[in-house]
Chain A
């Protein structure tokens, strides 16, 4: 009897603190644990008793990589609780801000965190010594995303201009128009990015995922839509809790999500693309076709291509919004006074996938409960499934090679552990 443990005690190039432990006895994978030891920060507890107007700024602090996603899900959930609708130009501006975050976050993952795995470098700094043009392109793209967030949100990390009902101040036409040149250049860089990553070598793997994402009648989903899945789920985001549930595992500070009665599922770029590729913009579709991207991608290593196509979409959508922009009459929609306890839930598409928020608000405007389900928490169980399959078919690899393969399999999903807890170390036990 032989036992082998694969252990990564601190996974690199992911956001947050996690570890992986895999135990193999003879030739059977006995245990796969993606351990999230990122310390818990208890957001849902201390949101109780805060005023609803504080939720977008407070929940943004769950994650420095995708604060806009938290602000958007919080606003939409609270607007549903308050019975207000934010449409027209304000809705367009929200999409623009979200495009900025998608561009920044995806460019960060593609170039700084993920590309080194495919090209054989420990990081983008080393990669830049041999491929300076690639890293410069990634940084320029990332910078364009940040420029959108800075113009509209005030700053890239934890923007200050988002409020329930809209914005504190809407930009002038000139402020928005000034961004156009940089975003148009970013669109070309994004197309080059798709061609660049299409040249990577992808291990041949197919996983049988249940994909879960928003779907909107007209748009590639960012802020709104129904929650749909590749196995037929089609629900209003308010019914999330009826269909999905969170279970707590002893090895992790993140709660695992499962589709009730069905098991693990996947959210994020691969899921969005599988369910919504028909909603992509013309240039995004054209470049996806050019590099031969299949309409449903089941190879997690090819997620980097999907992310790149989404960056093209986000740049194109941003240019569209910039070109049509006229400042609205009022920067926000005023909420009516509340006279009874109320509840609201909503989901938006964070760069890493579906982000669900639900709140109970009392008549004084204070939050009685808050419930937040982050994308990486939803994906955690599914990532463990990927790892189990990977290790089972790669038992002949020596431990260092197998450990590296496991780390790559985790990075395929761009996990954000800060979100999920709300950290990653890999331990592989061979028995």
Chain B
């Protein structure tokens, strides 16, 4: 048996929509098999993983809290990936954004003003953007590979945060716990609704997604992103600069990741600590691809991936599987998304034996 691909005349509009759904379905099927192999009832396990968290108000708030950074980061990454710049260091930009955003509440806690919060958010975004500018600078100036550089910077950012909260910024009254002082109320991102914890981060995420969608769909800048991502040579012919696009896309995604970082720290943690993210920066890569690099699709996929985090926590309690299942689910999902995307550009034929009769077409 072998598999042959035949290029379609154009991208299939049908499969552009069906492919992510198909990937979700396949992930669920594999998930069920996995639970079965772990000795759990697959139906019950999937229910507590993917349905139960949606049934209560407080958990919906948690869903929004977790979806916010995923969506914010992923829409930035979508611009990067569409322009063929492979920023995979969003986790580091998230961390640095959290740090620079926390400068005010930690160093000048006595300053109580309505300006504190906006300034924190801006400084967080700037921090993330500047940190993402490092791979951009090295790529444009020295031709280094942005994938490796941005990833190495993740480790550096995390170690830097670790040093800060254990050293310079450690709360002197914190019983030697590795964490900073708690933010004052002016420095805390408020909740949107009185019914739960969800904070303004999700609003930022939705606004950013819609804004980027508008840019990609209607503005010349979005066209520039698409052209340079598909062919740098054609972009040059159009008079667009590949170099400037490296800076633009990397710093935009860095800024959004930085904003996500300070929103997370300000809105849901309330202080700095060594670990501030369950891998949002990496999971956002999956969110971006599941959303087919379309900001509106990313809103949906952001909630789906947020659900896997919640489901992992829930399943740990209710059916006693480890929360590591979450990351397996996320990894599987990305694999299926990428595989199913093949269907958009190609017809896939499965050919049995040496014969040439198409046995299955899709």
Determine if chain A interacts with chain B: no
